[in-house]
Amino acid sequence: MKRLIVVGGSKGIGKAIVTSLLSSYDEIVNISRTDLEESHPNLKHYKCDILTDELPNIEEADGLVYCPGSINLKPITRLSIDDFRDDFEINVIGAVKAIKKYIPALKKGSKPSIVLFSTVATKLGMPFHASVAASKSAIEGLTKSLGAELAPTIRVNAIAPTVTDTELASKLLRNERMIENMNERHPLKKYLQPEEVADMAAFLLSDKAASQSGQIFEMDCGIVSFKL
């Protein structure tokens, strides 16, 4: 049985990944705090808080995607130590917990792969991103370190998207003017849709990416790569 584990697959990018890959896997296991709005014969759901609950036992898996994250944008003077700690917990500790839990299952899978999520803010210095950039930079370090440690058995890669049209980013896209400004900030005159990010995740999970590990894939619509 071909099985994929998605942590945080009920909303945003995680939901797009689950939806796009349902026909590619015999079973997708979604682990999240939020109930799924849909059902499918290939979909199994565990309601679970990644930081406080015990994760379900899964004997074998071919892929793991960790989607939970945060966008906590404040000046450093308004970011508390607890803000930094909370962002690190959800972005990094949760990912480590999931990886440690499911490494044995992944080692039993076929050409297993782990996909994590960073952000363009680790490469592009932006005001008010200190907390999220710090935690996502840790994800990038984790990706490279685990990619080396788990080779050649398990591949580990991360996607670093720019602003994506999800509930998490809704405050950044809450009116037409903000949407227009966001488009203008990016050289490609667009920001991301969750389905685009899901396509990248699907590629990294697939055999087509068999030579890719320890890599950070920037989906930046040009905002990091270009100066126009």
Is the predicted pLDDT of residue 141 greater than 90, yes or no? yes
pLDDT single digits (tens) 143-166:
999 999 999 999 999 999 999 988
- Length in residues, the chain: 228
Is the predicted pLDDT of residue 33 greater than 90, yes or no? yes
| Domains of the chain (ranges, CATH numbers) | 3-219 (3.40.50.720)
Residue 154: CB atoms within 10 Å: 22
* Whole-prediction pTM: 0.95
